[in-house]
Structure 1
Amino acid sequence: MTKSLTLNEEQAAIMEGLQAEQKYINPKYFYNHHGSKLFEKITQLDEYYPTRTERGILQSRAEDIANLIERDALIVEPGAGSCKKIEYLLPALHPKVYVPQDVSAEFLKQSAQRLSEIYSWLDVVPVASDFSEPIVIPERLRKYRKYAFYPGSTIGNFEPEDALQFLKQMRTLVGDSGGMILGVDLHKDNDILHAAYNDKEGVTAEFNLNTLSHINDILSSGFELQKFEHMALYNSQKQRIEMYLKSTEPQEYRVLGELITFEQGELIHTEHSYKYTIDGIRQLANSSGFTLEHSWLDENELFSVNYLQSV
Structure 2
Amino acid sequence: MSHPLTLEQEQAAILEGLEAEQKFINPKYFYNHHGSKLFEKITQLDEYYPTRTERDILKDRADDIANLIEKNAVIIEPGAGSCKKIEYLLEALHPKAYVPQDVSAEFLQQSAERLSNSYPWLKVVPVASDFSQPIEIPQSLKSERKYVFYPGSTIGNFEPEDALQFLKQMRQLVGDGGGMILGVDLHKDNDVLHAAYNDSEGVTAAFNLNTLSHINEILGSDFDIEKFEHIALYNNEQQRIEMYLKSLEFQSYEVLGRTLTFARDELVHTEHSYKYTLKGIGMLAERAGFELGYSWTDADNLFSVNYLNAR
Superposition TM-score, scaled by structure 2 size: 0.94
Partner deviation per Cα, 1:225-277 (whole Å, 9 max, x = no partner)? 22222110011121110011111221111122211111121111000111111
Pairwise CA RMSD: 1.5
1:248 alignment counterpart: 248
CA gap of 1:208–1:104, structure 2 versus 1, over 3 A, is farther
Partners of 1:55 and 1:19 lie apart in 2 by: 40
Partners of 2:182 and 2:39 lie apart in 1 by: 19
Partners of 1:215 and 1:134 lie apart in 2 by: 27
The Cα of 1:278 is off from its aligned counterpart by: 0.8
Partners of 2:106 and 2:200 lie apart in 1 by: 30
Partners of 1:137 and 1:227 lie apart in 2 by: 46
Give the letter aligned to residue 16 of structure 2.
E
CA gap of 1:292–1:126, structure 2 versus 1, over 3 A, is same
1:244-283 correspondence runs (5 A): 244-283=244-283
Partners of 1:114 and 1:36 lie apart in 2 by: 19
1:3 alignment counterpart: none
Partners of 2:246 and 2:142 lie apart in 1 by: 46
2:53 alignment counterpart: 53
1:12 alignment counterpart: 12
1:148 alignment counterpart: 148
1:68 alignment counterpart: 68
Partners of 1:129 and 1:207 lie apart in 2 by: 25
Pair 1:287 & 2:287 matched? yes
2:3 alignment counterpart: none
2:129 alignment counterpart: 129
2:221 alignment counterpart: 221
CA gap of 1:294–1:146, structure 2 versus 1, over 3 A, is same
The Cα of 1:7 is off from its aligned counterpart by: 7.0
Give the letter aligned to residue 139 of structure 2.
E
- Secondary structure in 1 matching 2:148: strand
Runs of 4 or more off by more than 6 Å in structure 1? Answer: none
Question: Contact (CA 8 Å) 2:7, 2:218: kept in 1 or not?
Answer: no
Matched residue count: 306
Give the letter aligned to residue 21 of structure 1.
E
2:29 alignment counterpart: 29
Question: Contact (CA 8 Å) 1:32, 1:104: kept in 2 or not?
Answer: no
CA gap of 1:126–1:213, structure 2 versus 1, over 3 A, is farther
Question: Contact (CA 8 Å) 2:74, 2:96: kept in 1 or not?
Answer: yes
Partners of 1:139 and 1:54 lie apart in 2 by: 32
Give the letter aligned to residue 155 of structure 2.
I
1:112 alignment counterpart: 112
Partners of 1:28 and 1:131 lie apart in 2 by: 13
- Secondary structure in 1 matching 2:244: strand
Partners of 1:98 and 1:139 lie apart in 2 by: 14
Pair 1:308 & 2:301 matched? no
The Cα of 1:41 is off from its aligned counterpart by: 1.5
2:298 alignment counterpart: 298
Superposition TM-score, scaled by structure 1 size: 0.94
Give the letter aligned to residue 160 of structure 2.
P
Partners of 1:108 and 1:19 lie apart in 2 by: 34
Name the stretch that deviates more: 248-257 or 297-306. Answer: 248-257
CA gap of 1:155–1:269, structure 2 versus 1, over 3 A, is same
Question: Contact (CA 8 Å) 1:33, 1:104: kept in 2 or not?
Answer: no
Q: Percent identity?
A: 76
The Cα of 1:128 is off from its aligned counterpart by: 2.5
Partner deviation per Cα, 1:79-132 (whole Å, 9 max, x = no partner)? 112211111001100112112222333332322222121111112222232342
Could you list the runs of 5+ residues in structure 2 that have no partner in the other structure? 1-5
The Cα of 1:296 is off from its aligned counterpart by: 0.5
Pair 1:96 & 2:96 matched? yes
Partner deviation per Cα, 1:136-168 (whole Å, 9 max, x = no partner)? 112233232111111112111111111101100
Give the letter aligned to residue 44 of structure 2.
Q
Question: Contact (CA 8 Å) 1:286, 1:292: kept in 2 or not?
Answer: yes
The Cα of 1:13 is off from its aligned counterpart by: 1.6
Partner deviation per Cα, 1:12-33 (whole Å, 9 max, x = no partner)? 2211111001101111121223
CA gap of 1:297–1:288, structure 2 versus 1, over 3 A, is same
Partners of 2:118 and 2:78 lie apart in 1 by: 21
Partners of 2:219 and 2:129 lie apart in 1 by: 20
Could you list the runs of 5+ residues in structure 1 that have no partner in the other structure? 1-5
